[in-house]
Amino acid sequence: MVDKVCSHKEIREGLDKMKKKMSQFIVLISVFTLCTISTLAATFKDVAQTHWAYTNIADMQKRGIMLLNSSGEFFPNAPMNFFEIADVLAKATGYVDVNMSPTIDPTFKQQIINNSAVQKPVLAVYENNFTSWDKRYNEQIAYLLGRGYLQKQELDQFITRGTDQREIKKIVTKQQLAVFIVRVLGKEATAKETYSVADFADESLILQTSKPHVGYLKAVGLVNADAKGFFNPNTHVTRALCAKMVSDALKYKQTPTPEPAPASTPVPTGSGNFLKVKKIIEKSWIILEQNGKTDYYAIKDTTKVTDLSGKEVEIANIPLETQATIVIGTENNIKYITNMQLQVVINGTAPSSDAALVSGTVTRVGANGDLSIMLADESTKNYFVDANCIVMLGQQRATIGEVKIGDSVRATIQASAITRLDILTAMPGNTTSDLTDGEITAKSLRLEGYGLSIKQGTRTTNLVIDKKVAVTRNNRQVTFEDLKIGDKIKIIKQETSIVEIKATGTRSTAEGQISAIYIAAVPQVTLKTKDGVQTFIISEMTEIYDNNSRSEVAFRDLRLGNNVELLIESKEVVSLVIGRNTTGVRYAGVIHAVGERIEYIDVLVDYDPLTESSRVIKRIKTPVEMPVELRGKLEHRAIFDVGMDVVITYQYLDDVTPEKILIIR
């Protein structure tokens, strides 16, 4: 490093004197979609327990979707723009940064990568059109586009230009968020077919395109009128309102309740009308589909279900997607099934022919509708849990919330999702009977204790450690916060109780140029080093020092292209020092096109370090004040012409505009 002002020894001494500044530690637990982020703050500095959205904010914090800052603040009244909403919705529907999740299912990982590649040209248009386009959220936006939760034309709403051409990131309104939430619930078609008004006092303020969505959410109880009967559709979405609406929607999706049956849905009667079984809800309701439309029917104790052989079938054992004929009755204006005949022969509880059975031990219960199961060959597979999944504990109906780590289960898999889960042997709480050592892959501070995610071979186990348990690291008594991701640990038990955690950590250094910065629940930096590309975890305790300003800086102040030196413990960065006078980034190429009013030039560059591509067209912003040099003299940007050889210099790799452009000829 060049002209380094502070040595690592000095920085290390400073670190040893620092007061412990981490009251909570938030970590990403990587899994299939899967990546469940397990965090739960004990207190919110700026959200009282009497706050109208407190339980929802706590829920979103626990799910790892909306997090506190390092000072324990949530900022409930802060308005949210489309980029921030996209981040929340993506995480709420299973998105995970593939670069941060080494244990993510390979198939799902490739789906995310492929989708990102498909959406990249679309997002590139907006990056080029808006200098303030927040590309940190491009992966989340691409994910939402690929899943259909966001439509391409809605990208035009992210940024607008004022009369002075100043770019403004637009704040999301309540009715706009309602549209997104209905899509997340998978009910947009139902809403459009069924609802045209929402019957609020301020109905006229709701856009015609949003009325079906708002009407649907009102019908199922996810939005309500205020004391004056208003919905307030144009209210700006704050972090508290976002937490309220998204949290309620996720809870509704996980524990569905019957929704009003559309008046236009045909009511089949008698035999000869084939319907398809779509969902069974707690032995009380069944959802059937006919001609692409679904309807709810009540199930009574007297309801009789038989297969083609005439054998009676338990309601809980009805395979989903099975065709059936029904006879219905009506009681208190509620339709209920008196008899149902399945168009198959049911042999015990055998699944349909396109299903597969797997048996094993539950090693992880995700918060985003997913499970990890360790199979007989000790490999671990990750699965979505279908929204219609039947969970059985012996002969009793159970819920997915009753599944625990260590349960022995048999799962019916269809289309990569669990449609039925039989709990064969239930284990109370966490199972640690056979876990004695492993590597820390994640940690968190929880109300009930300290959370640890431990990898042992191909198996990952989540534990909650009592705060009274003794912790040592490298033979020295420490606190839980001193443990590092990547530490090797041994678990000391008395009978089935954990009494001590012994950790062993390593120290190393690394030097290189920052090629990627990940701002998420667990911040990371990727460096190009002499040993190749390496990624490191930035924690709450990482000290970041800038040798140029001779001061500590924040993680957000790091820039692509910075030359840095790291001190690392296990897999966490202890200190990061930005090199003095970090070398600028240069592009050499030929002008391919000159934009209208010369606001940009398209240059065929030899190599683009940002995308690691050769011979590509790169759009270069050319503001009036930017220096343009030809033969040692400053020129106006009007001199640019197609075919000119140029060298473009940026101070940092991710700068929007160049520091200067040199015309070679």
pLDDT band at 20 (very low <50, low <70, confident <90, very high): very low
What are 134-191's pLDDT values in tens digits?
A: 999 999 999 999 888 999 889 999 998 877 778 899 999 999 999 999 999 888 888 8
Residue 76 backbone phi and psi in degrees, to 5: -65, -25
Together in a domain, 535 and 594: no
480 and 592 in a common domain: no
Phi, psi of 212 (to 5 degrees): -60, -40
Q: Are residues 37 and 127 in the same domain?
A: yes
Does some domain include residue 84? yes
Q: Residues 456-487: pLDDT tens digits?
A: 776 677 777 887 888 999 999 988 888 998 99
Q: How many domains does the chain have?
A: 7
At 590-632, the pLDDT tens digits run 999 998 889 899 999 888 766 667 788 888 989 888 899 988 8
At which of 142, 168, 194 does a domain end? 168
Residue spans of alpha helices (H) in 18-70: 54-63
**Contact (CB, 8 A) for 496 and 433:** yes
User: What CATH number is attached to the domain comprising 512?
Assistant: 2.40.50.140
Cβ-based neighbours of 50, under 8 Å, separated by 6 or more: none
Q: What is the pLDDT of residues 281-334, one digit of tens each?
A: 655 678 788 777 777 777 777 788 887 767 788 787 787 778 888 887 766 555
Q: Are strands 323-331 and 334-342 parallel, antiparallel or unpaired?
A: antiparallel
Q: Which residue has better confidence, 342 or 652? A: 342
pLDDT in tens, 191-211: 888 777 777 888 888 988 899
Task: Note whether 75 and 34 are same-domain residues.
Answer: yes
Would residue 63 count as lying in a domain? yes
Domain check: are 303 and 419 in the same one? Answer: no
**Which residues form the domain of 105?**
28-168
- With respect to residue 659, please indicate whether it lies within any of the assigned structural domains: yes
In a domain, 248, yes or no: no
Quote the mean pLDDT of the chain. Answer: 78
pLDDT at 492 over 80: yes
In a domain, 85, yes or no: yes
Tokens of 210: 């949003």
What pLDDT is recorded for position 204?
86
Shared domain for 33 and 155, answered yes or no, is: yes
pLDDT at 640: 92
* 347 domain residue, yes or no: no
Co-location of 288 and 415 in the same domain? no
**Chain segment 250-285, per-residue pLDDT in tens:** 888 876 555 544 433 334 433 335 788 877 765 567
Is 243 within a domain?
A: no
Residue 548 and residue 481 share a domain:
no
The CATH number given to whatever domain includes residue 360 is 2.40.50.320
Single-letter amino acid code for the residue at 482 = D
Q: For residues 492 and 94, give the distance between their C-alpha atoms in angstroms, rounded to a whole number.
A: 35
Q: Is residue 256 part of a domain?
A: no
Could you tell me if 395 and 477 lie in one domain? no
Report field, pTM of the whole predicted structure over 0.75: no
Domain end, chosen from 502, 534, 556, is at: 502
Q: Looking at the structure, tell me whether residues 97 and 160 fall in a common domain.
A: yes
pLDDT > 90 fraction of the chain, expressed in percent and rounded: 20
Query: CA dihedral in degrees (569, 571, 572, 573; nearest 10)?
Result: 70
Same domain, 495 and 511: no
Cβ-based neighbours of 146, under 8 Å, separated by 6 or more: 115, 118, 119
Same domain, residue pair 155 and 50:
yes
Does residue 95 register a pLDDT over 70?
yes
